[in-house]
Structure 1
């Protein structure tokens, strides 16, 4: 049972409003004595029963229950349930990593996203809300290792802390899907001058590549990583998670062989993916038959690299480790097969669009 399930059960048992809250250090010290927290003893303050669940770095996470109208038996039952839950948490070793609070937020996030509510504000009864008011950078990590055991919260948190060297939040969303929230100043060293608008995408991309390399060095198997621009999570987290999930879906379709996906590099792909399947097939038919070229892995790689290098012949040849004349031969062959000269902007745009339509339609 997680903390959110406990809260719901207490509400069902008593019919009273309940909540789970992570208290600041000063509030924790003033509300609970050290002895009371260690024993899980409840306190009553301003008409609410507070039961400490666990402590993390001086911050106590507690469940509270409105007492107005409760009978003595109901109060004892509620207290008994909360105290036993706290004992079970300590036995499971979850309290040190904050996993319970993270899973509470996870349940709410998944519920909002299932209802397509991308602009919901995190409610006050979420224990982590007090830590979500500053600018944070969201990452989404998705594993494709269907037959391997699920990575534990503790082991992943330990690995992430070794990279970010400071406080982060880890939210397990679905099976093999993890949301990582890092403070913006962790990426800049606290120097906002380095985080100017023109360098933001590059900085986020470098951080994402470094994180992917670290995880790849520790884990066996395939996983995808996406990053979104900084957000104030208390109001913008659901929208960011929706964007990150869409980014990984698009990356799997259009960036086969790549495992780092950036939303600002997938604008055209997002547009193509939104076109109904029947209309995509109609467009492919109208453009012409490019099957021979796009089904050829060597030609497809050549085109993808050519567009990646901004249609620069010399840079593309270097990237592919081939002679410039070999590249020109391939481009001439594409022109013979399709009638399109990708060295001209108009034809290059048509071929790029055709490649994207082909990729998404081929998967259907």
Structure 2
């Protein structure tokens, strides 16, 4: 019987050996005594109604109870629709999701590495083999470039690639829970729109979401006006980096590892062939959306 449920839930784990619940806080476990099978289903895949039915059919184990009390309260709040933690301070919290490439790394080592980058205490929750969320008070929180440093360090030390999605700070309560659900969906979409980005937030992802939702007429119009960028990948990359760095010539040249004069030549070439002045806000926005659209097609 558990075999059929295993097929129904793509992220589930089926085994005969009793699981170590302390390492599976992201799963609901169900035991079928007659067959000796154990089925672990990701918490986020089980609706409240389905959970109620499964509890009546099988021996149920909620592995989140093996977490420390504070972590358990946060886990129930974020992933199991529980009440917000009673101990939460009246301050904004920031939820930072992370996604790592799977490998031979050990979860405890990875948690220790994470904590080493934060001055204040943080709570780390796992909702998958290589995915989870860091809960931190937003005051004196890490900046975007610091998360990039974390990602680079983890790749250097553990040979694992890590992407972060920095959530919007909010006080614990219904709003924080709702925001987190939205941010989970946004992080999933970021994997297809911006697969190379290591540190994401709503503002960085939103332009890509906009270009992805354009109708065929607007996409065709935008691409036809900026076909030069499709034909010249080097120029496309240059213009995109230039706009991402607030049109700062020195910073862009440094990021591209080219001389300022080389960058200026490419910018002049773009303006000469298109007639578009990148110093104009509306023009810069349009060109940036075109860059994103070309990369998506």
User: TM (normalized to structure 1)?
Assistant: 0.54
Preserved contact between residue 141 and residue 224 of structure 1 (Cα < 8 Å): yes
Residue 351 of structure 1 and its aligned partner are, at CA, apart by: 1.4
Preserved contact between residue 150 and residue 176 of structure 1 (Cα < 8 Å): no
Match of 1:208 among 134, 143, 147: 147
Q: Which runs of 5+ in 1 are unaligned?
A: 10-80, 113-121, 189-202
Q: Spell out the pairing of 1:183-332 with structure 2 (5 A cutoff).
A: 183-185=137-139, 187=140, 204-249=143-188, 251-255=190-194, 257-273=196-212, 275=213, 279=215, 281-287=216-222, 288=224, 290-294=226-230, 296-332=232-268
Where 1:272 maps in the other structure, the secondary structure is helix
Where 1:182 maps in the other structure, the secondary structure is strand
Residue 303 of structure 1 and its aligned partner are, at CA, apart by: 0.6
Does 2:66 align with 1:130? no
Where 2:289 maps in the other structure, the secondary structure is helix
Residue number in structure 2 paired with 1:143:
100
- Output the CA distance in 1 between the equivalents of 2:169 and 2:29: 33
Preserved contact between residue 132 and residue 234 of structure 1 (Cα < 8 Å): no
Preserved contact between residue 100 and residue 131 of structure 2 (Cα < 8 Å): yes
- Output the CA distance in 1 between the equivalents of 2:256 and 2:267: 13
Count of equivalent residues: 245
Residue number in structure 2 paired with 1:171:
125
Task: Please say which structure displays the higher CA radius of gyration.
Answer: 1
Residue 339 of structure 1 and its aligned partner are, at CA, apart by: 4.9
- Output the CA distance in 1 between the equivalents of 2:245 and 2:145: 19
Distance 1:349-1:162 versus aligned 2 partners, 3 A rule? closer
- Output the CA distance in 1 between the equivalents of 2:177 and 2:279: 42
Residue 180 of structure 1 and its aligned partner are, at CA, apart by: 0.8
Preserved contact between residue 147 and residue 164 of structure 2 (Cα < 8 Å): yes
Where 1:139 maps in the other structure, the secondary structure is strand
- Output the CA distance in 2 between the equivalents of 1:306 and 1:162: 33
- Output the CA distance in 2 between the equivalents of 1:150 and 1:295: 42
User: TM (normalized to structure 2)?
Assistant: 0.64
Where 2:265 maps in the other structure, the secondary structure is helix
Distance 1:240-1:308 versus aligned 2 partners, 3 A rule? same
Residue 181 of structure 1 and its aligned partner are, at CA, apart by: 0.6
Residue 236 of structure 1 and its aligned partner are, at CA, apart by: 3.4
Residue 224 of structure 1 and its aligned partner are, at CA, apart by: 0.3
- Output the CA distance in 1 between the equivalents of 2:275 and 2:284: 11
What are the superposed Cα offsets for residues 175-227 of structure 1, whole Å, 9 maximum, x if unpaired? 32111112345x36xxxxxxxxxxxxxx5324433443443343213220121
- Output the CA distance in 2 between the equivalents of 1:207 and 1:240: 23
Does 2:115 align with 1:161? yes
Preserved contact between residue 139 and residue 225 of structure 1 (Cα < 8 Å): yes
Q: How large is the RMSD of aligned CA atoms in angstroms?
A: 4.0
- Output the CA distance in 1 between the equivalents of 2:288 and 2:202: 18
Q: Which runs of 5+ in 2 are unaligned?
A: 1-18, 33-58
Residue 253 of structure 1 and its aligned partner are, at CA, apart by: 4.6
Residue 165 of structure 1 and its aligned partner are, at CA, apart by: 5.0
Preserved contact between residue 101 and residue 160 of structure 2 (Cα < 8 Å): yes
Residue 286 of structure 1 and its aligned partner are, at CA, apart by: 1.6
- Output the CA distance in 2 between the equivalents of 1:238 and 1:265: 22
Residue number in structure 2 paired with 1:75:
none
- Output the CA distance in 2 between the equivalents of 1:230 and 1:183: 8
The runs of at least 4 aligned residues of structure 1 exceeding 6 Å deviation read none
